[in-house]
Amino acid sequence: MSVYLRPGQSLDAGKIGEILTDGNGANPWKPHLHSGAEDIGFCAKMIDRGWVTVACQDRRVLGFIARQEDEVHSLYVAAQAQGAGIGRMLLDDAKAARDRLELWTFQLNTGAQRFYLREGFTEVKRTDGQSNDEKLPDIRYLWTRKAKT
């Protein structure tokens, strides 16, 4: 069965909240600031705002991206679906809708850094993390569509 993308629906909040909680918990360096219930509530808000696209297979949610115009707020893939191109599929869909995308990732998240660089993003800024909730040093990335020549 092939993977397909669709807009997030209110009934997806539980599953994408679980993916978010599991993804954050998989990184021992990342502080746990929110409960699973709070993550579900946060995901429900992103869905209600129309930011969420989910990747599904056989009606199972495998990952999601939350994007508000040019800003990617979240991109998570369920652990069992990682390495199968789901993240790239979600990011390619976002790229098709915009001429530029921006996002943050933590400096300790070297896997995400490699992924974004491979996907054509460039680093534009580093901070000490004092402006984010986790207080962890982070990196701002930018992707822009190349002009056709």
Distances (CA, A) of 104 to 14, 90, 137: 24, 16, 10
pLDDT for position 149: 66
Q: Is the pLDDT score of 148 beyond 80?
A: no
Q: Return the number of other C-beta atoms located less than 10 Å from residue 87's C-beta.
A: 22
pLDDT for position 59: 87
**Contact, 20 vs 42, CB < 8 A?**
yes
Mean pLDDT taken over the chain: 95
First-to-last C-alpha distance (Å) of the chain = 38
Task: Determine the Cα–Cα distance for residues 21 and 66; give it in Å rounded to an integer.
Answer: 15
* pTM, to two decimals: 0.94
For residue 121, name the pLDDT band (cuts at 50, 70, 90). very high
Task: Determine the Cα–Cα distance for residues 20 and 5; give it in Å rounded to an integer.
Answer: 18
